[in-house]
Amino acid sequence: MQDKLFSNCEIYEIKKDVLNSPIVFAGFVGAGLVGPLSVGYMIDKLGMEEIAYIRSRHLPPSTVFMQGRLRHPFRIYTNKEKTICAIICEITLQMEGLYDIISTILNWVEKRGSHEIVILDGVASTTHDGKAFCAAEEDLCRIMENNGINMIPQGFVTGVAGGLLNECLMRKIQGVTLLVKANDKRPDPLAAATLVDAVNRAYDMKIDTSDLRKGKKKIGADFKELSEKYTEHRKTDSSMYM
């Protein structure tokens, strides 16, 4: 019997909550760290509770300390109403094993009755222009454009975000990514705030982004090491093109 410590990929549920067909928001390490910054901010402002975490032999053997507190680097949260889930990953992922991780995530999402996953991500740039963009199937793109989020005419999405979106095309799950241009060398909380503002418009939320915009220096210090690791990783694997 294979040791559970070295399983390909499993989701360990801390609480067996019954979810109400939740919309799932996901953030992974990318340009400006806008994925984990924006999703982490949503988790905090919506008072979401951790319900599960992901373990896999394909994840690097590391853990995350934030302000001295130890936590799993790949976590799942839900809100009190069980209508929203958030998946946040605070470590860089290698290409090896991504299919196992992607399949495990979407299998879990499907079993919990979700029909939509929204990936928040950044496109490497020297400056942020305050605009949010989207990539999705045609019907969903029209909805986004009605909320001031323009469709990307063409480009490539690779890595875990691209894999999730590609797999959604073969399942009964709508996949959409909301994108912003973000600094490719340091954490970009302003770009993350733009993403949360786009979520507010598209999903009728009212998350105040002022703390995210004001906390630029502190956020940069907290995520400095993770940003450096992403920059090193990006030399061999760029995850987004527009």
At 140, the pLDDT band (50, 70, 90 cuts) reads confident
E strands present in 142-229: 150-151, 156-157, 174-183
On whether residue 15 sits in a domain, the answer given is yes
On whether residue 240 sits in a domain, the answer given is no
On whether residue 150 sits in a domain, the answer given is yes
On whether residue 25 sits in a domain, the answer given is yes
Strand, helix or coil at 199?
A: helix
At 238, the pLDDT band (50, 70, 90 cuts) reads very low
Structure tokens at 219: 């956020």
On whether residue 242 sits in a domain, the answer given is no
Structure tokens at 87: 């998946």
- Containing structural domain, residue 199: 4-234
On whether residue 241 sits in a domain, the answer given is no
pLDDT at 13 exceeding the cut of 80: yes
pLDDT per position as a tens digit, 151-171? 887 777 778 888 999 999 999
- CA dihedral (26, 28, 31, 36) in degrees, to 10, reads 70
The CA distance from 176 to 166, in Å, is: 10
Structurally, the chain folds into a number of domains equal to 1
Residues 6+ apart with CB under 8 A from 235: none
At 185, the pLDDT band (50, 70, 90 cuts) reads confident
On whether residue 142 sits in a domain, the answer given is yes
For the chain, what is the mean pLDDT? 84
Q: Quick one: what percent of the chain has pLDDT higher than 90?
A: 52
What CATH number does the domain containing 126 carry? 3.40.50.10900
On whether residue 35 sits in a domain, the answer given is yes
Q: What is the mean pLDDT of residues 173-200?
A: 92
